A and B are shown apart, each in its own frame.
Chain A
Amino acid sequence: MAERTAPRTLGTGPGRALIAVYGIFALSATARAAVQIGSKFTEAPLAYLLSAFAAVVYIIATVALAKGGETWRRVALVSCSIELAGVVAVGLLTIFDATAFPDDTVWTDFGRGYGYVPLVLPVIGLLWLRYAGRNRAAA
């Protein structure tokens, strides 16, 4: 078992599946932000800028996970942390102060519109980064 897991780096094995999920989110968040900003930006600028921000973070996370290496691992760590903070902060805000965000973003209500995946994804990402980092240290 040790031989099988040791050569694994950030972007292979389960990591590659993680990249796929992040890729899908990067894609759909970007599309959503583009549509919102392109068609009705004045309606809720804050919410749409947040959408764009979330999209950028997902793209960075996807690239960082795919690239691997120590620097990119740190980048992935930071972007996953931002996602977790973002989804929790926006989730709380949308529940306690619904008027702050008149239109939905990826992170609204803890990502309910996306099956709560935005809430779970950064946690899995952080766990995987930890696990992969430990493997590197051992190898």
Chain B
Amino acid sequence: MIALSLLVGAWALVEALRDRAPGRGHLIGLGVVEVALVVLLVAAAFAAAGGDRPASGVTFLGYVVTIICLPPLGAVLARLEPTRWGSVIILVVCLTIPVLVLRLHQTWQVVTSG
């Protein structure tokens, strides 16, 4: 998941450095990231239903809402900005997602250790 997001981010960085706008491929990349996020969260929901719950359900939910909104937000803004800065937007989003996934992971780990 993290690697996937970083990959799309790296691609966006290359386009930004080449002074190019994000293409259809980047939007598809963001779409793939979004789908992967949904899959991850559905898996998390099943784990939670199975009794393996995060320490703070509310915190977890907070991160989930934030993280799910990111790829669509990035895609909309990137389409509004058909310049190199559109690529920068995708880069920023793709750098933020791994951080949030790591945080999400942390909220889960507190449980297993305690």
A residues near B (Cβ < 8 Å) are: 12-14, 16-17, 19-21, 23-24, 27-28, 31-32, 34-35, 38-39, 115
B residues near A (Cβ < 8 Å) are: 56, 58-59, 61-63, 65-66, 69-70, 73-74, 77, 80-81, 83, 85-86, 88-89, 92-93, 96, 99-100
Given A27-B69, A31-B63 in contact, is the A20-B58 Cβ separation under 8 Å?
no
Output the least CB separation between A34 and chain B (Å): 7
Which of B63, B81, B96 makes the CB contact (< 8 A) with A24? B96
* Cβ contact within 8 Å between A39 and B58: yes
Given A12-B81, A23-B77, A27-B66 in contact, is the A17-B59 Cβ separation under 8 Å?
no
Cα distance A88–B56 in the bound complex, in angstroms: 30
Cα distance A114–B61 in the bound complex, in angstroms: 19
Main secondary structure of the interface of A (DSSP, over half): helix
- Chain A residues in 8 Å Cβ range of B93: 20, 24
Given A17-B89, A23-B73 in contact, is the A35-B81 Cβ separation under 8 Å?
no
Given A13-B85, A27-B69, A39-B56 in contact, is the A20-B62 Cβ separation under 8 Å?
no
Best-surrounded residue of A12, A35, A115 (most CB of chain B within 10 A): A35
Which of B63, B65, B77 makes the CB contact (< 8 A) with A20? B77
Summed over the interface, the residue pairs from A and B with CB atoms below 8 Å come to a total of: 54
- Chain B residues in 8 Å Cβ range of A27: 66, 69-70, 73
- Chain B residues in 8 Å Cβ range of A115: 99
* Cβ contact within 8 Å between A20 and B92: yes
- Chain B residues in 8 Å Cβ range of A34: 62
- Chain A residues in 8 Å Cβ range of B96: 24
Output the least CB separation between B24 and chain A (Å): 19
* Cβ contact within 8 Å between B70 and A35: no
